[in-house]
Amino acid sequence: MRSSRLRPLILPLLALLAACSPQGRSTAQPTQSLGQPAPGLEEPNRAPPPNFATMKMSFAPIVKRAAPAVVNVFSQRVVRTQVDPFWQFFGGGFGVPQSRVEGSLGSGVIVRADGLIVTNNHVIEGGQQLNVVLADRREFPAKVILADARADLAVLKIDVKGERLPVMPIADRDSVQVGDLVLAIGDPFGVGQTVTNGIVSALARTDVGANDYSFFIQTDAAINPGNSGGPLVDMDGNLIGLNTLIYSRTGSSAGIGFAIPAAMVRRVVETAVGGGHAVNRPWLGARLQTVDSDTAKSLGLDRAGGAMVTALYPGGPAAVAGLNEGDVIVSADGQPVADEGVLTYQVATHRPGETLTVGVRRGGAAKTYAVRLEAPPAIPARDERTLTGRQPLSGATVANLSPAVAEENGLDPMLSGVVVLKPGETFAAQAGFQPGDIVREVNGEPIRSTAALAEALRAARSWRLVIERGGRRISVTFGL
């Protein structure tokens, strides 16, 4: 669903910033879009140094204010593995599963004085024991309040017995610009809290592909494994992004790092503060396609860019607002829309019930629409169930597809049918089923509900299944 112009170059070399250390612990806005004219140099904090004496000025006051709110996050889990029976014969145990402890180390930011902390989801994902170490080296057990895998963000809570901890403010306005000075604070390679500085190298990087809302601030401030979840800080000491991944051929900093913008961080934190355990995001009710140069020519546009509406959900927000198929959305809330990813991010940072103003090109004319965003409908009913018995999908958890279920799982919200949410750890996983697979047919019978799927599987002794995966249909046959 996202443009992939940079993927062949970037994706093989991207590294999430949590990694394993030799000791077993891992060491791991909508912002202003590209192309918008920069403000004049007379703006406060954006003037070049006028003389050598000014260049000798220090970042120390900013670090003194920001660093106490940066923490280390340790995550541990026990993994059981089956040792090769050949080696077991010589070493004893004869196939008894062995246990080992895996860990990861990342960083985090205190965003509320009572111990609320935001970090990356990949730092804590799968962790059975979480601990947070403060800047003053005190250590606390932590629990997960909210985990948002789609945005790669998580909110943790530590019990500080009524103590008020130092807090880093989340930037409340989206004024980041290319060339702004920034600091990155975290714990690279587990060496201890480290501060690096650089500039904002680029904005609105949407071809990185690290999460479902791929829209990153790029920086040349050195960040390395262990910096995951640490803050990207502006010259006022505010959090403007959460450092998440790097582009590297070696696993170490190559001067290209990516941070999740503050607007997304703020949205997740506000949900956690409000008692929510999942972020309720709105949808546009439209299928989108990035306008490349060929599409632009066919539409009579003078340049590539924007997101074209290729389908509308009946009664959805975009349809109600008056958008048509073939419209090209070129701006959202006054910010340029370079591609589908930018628009998806802009929608995701709003709450249901809020209005998104979109600029549209239609047949050579420019139009503006106010789209009242709503939560995607949960119709048909989810009817989630785990399948059992002697059949190919035994152990899998499935659900009826609705726009709500599709949005939760990063699927095309226009799809319908029955989707595999989890293949489980039994036959379905061994057979190769994956999350997001849509079951289209069983023995030639169309499948439109989980109840129909369960019945079709139960009644057969052999099964020919048609599965849709990534827009492709796959036919596979199973027998007892």
Catalytic residue IDs? 122, 152, 228
Q: What is the 3-state secondary structure (H, E, C) of 10-31?
A: HHHHEEECCCECCCCCECCCCC
Tokens of 88: 């077991």
Amino acid type, 425: E
**E strands, 115-152, in order:** 116-119, 129-133, 139-148
In the numeric block, the tokens 């369960």 are attached to 454
Residues 6+ apart with CB under 8 A from 65: 237
- Sequence-distant (6+) residues with CB within 8 A of 379 are 402, 403
Please state the separation of Cα 32 from the chain's center in Å: 19
Length of the chain: 480
> Would you call the peptide bond into 68 cis, given omega within 30 degrees of 0 as the criterion?
no
Q: How many other CB atoms sit within 10 Å of the CB of residue 416?
A: 15
Distance CA 312, CA 401 (A): 17
> Which residues are registered as beta bridge partners of 336?
331
φ, ψ for residue 52, nearest 5 deg: -65, -35
Instruction: Pull the structure tokens for residue 119.
Output: 């970090």
φ, ψ for residue 162, nearest 5 deg: 85, -5
- Which distant-in-sequence residues (6+ apart) come within 8 Å of 232 by Cβ? 182, 183, 184, 217, 219, 221, 239, 240, 241, 242, 243, 259
Rounded to whole angstroms, how far apart are CA atoms 174 and 266? 11
Determine the Cα–Cα distance for residues 130 and 477; give it in Å rounded to an integer.
Answer: 44
CA triple 301-284-303, angle to 5 deg: 15
CA distance 263 to 268: 9
Give me the residue label for tokens 């593995």. Answer: 81
Taking alpha carbons only, the member of 25, 181, 40, 37 closest to residue 105 is 25
Structure tokens at 109: 């930011």
